[in-house]
Structure 1
Amino acid sequence: MEQAQIFSQLQEIFRDIFDDLSLVIHESTNANDIEEWDSLNHISLISAIEKHFKIKFHLSELQGLKNVGEMATLIARKLARA
């Protein structure tokens, strides 16, 4: 799956989790950019991403992520291995 496809699907997941159909994410988007992105929504977001893409993250992988772009890259790597 191409990065653009992953990003498009992430966009829909973010809109669903944060209940905001107008939300637009960018590669540089991080928790500081979305007011509702607290620890509970973070867990919901990760869970939704894992379910949607049928992948599992290790805590160590998530701890180093700085933004949505890095998340998309990690998803692409995991999908390529599957």
Structure 2
Amino acid sequence: TIGNLRYWNRTPDLGQIKIPVLITCGRYDELGPACAATLQAGIPNAETVVFEESAHVAHIEEPEAYRKCVSEFLTRNDD
């Protein structure tokens, strides 16, 4: 259940991620920027983009900017 997830913490394992990671969140998401910062700090090669006009669904609230962001990330990491 969702209640059990409250106690599930994989933060110590983030450093094991060895591939480039794109973290996105909206400026007005209640937890987004704080969670994104935690992920960024723990994942080597992570990149964070905060969408300034969005809350929880940046891909819907700023679709063009979101698509551009993801496209550029994929192009930079196309190996």
TM-score of the aligned structures, taking structure 1 as reference length: 0.28
Q: Point out the structure with the larger helix share.
A: 1
TM-score of the aligned structures, taking structure 2 as reference length: 0.29
Higher relative contact order (CA 8 A, sep 6+): 1
Q: Which has the larger radius of gyration?
A: 2
